[in-house]
Amino acid sequence: MELTAKQLARILKGTVEGDPQATITSFAKIEHGKSGQLCFFANPKYENYVYTCKASILLVNNDFQPKKPVAPTMVRVENSYEAIAQLLKYAATKKRTSGRHRGFRSSYFLTSKFGKKVYLGSHSYVGHHAYVGDYTKIYENVYVGDDTRIGKNCIIYPGVVIYPGMVIGDNVIIHANAVIGSDGFGNVPQSDGTWEKIEHLGNVVIGDNCEIGAGTTIDRAEMESTIIGNGVKIDNLCQIAHNVQIGDNTVMAAQCGIAGSAKIGKNCILAGQVGIVGHIVIPDHTTIGAQAGVIGSPKKEGETLLGSPAIPVKEYMRSYAVFRKNGKEGL
Check if 285 is active-site: no
Helices (H), ranges, the chain: 5-12, 47-50, 80-95, 313-330
Written as one letter, the residue type at 242 is: H
Mention every residue, 6+ apart, whose C-beta is less than 8 A from residue 185: 219, 241, 242, 260
CA dihedral 101, 197, 1, 111 (to 10 degrees): -20
Q: What is the DSSP letter of 189?
A: E
Catalytic residue, candidates 129, 242, 279, 285: 242
Mention every residue, 6+ apart, whose C-beta is less than 8 A from residue 3: 11, 23, 24, 38
Q: What is the DSSP letter of 44?
A: G
On whether the CB atoms of residues 300 and 282 are closer than 8 A, the answer is no
Q: What is the DSSP letter of 46?
A: G
CA distance 283 to 294: 12
**Bond before 283 cis per omega within 30 degrees:** no
CA distance 28 to 37: 6
Catalytic residue numbers read: 242
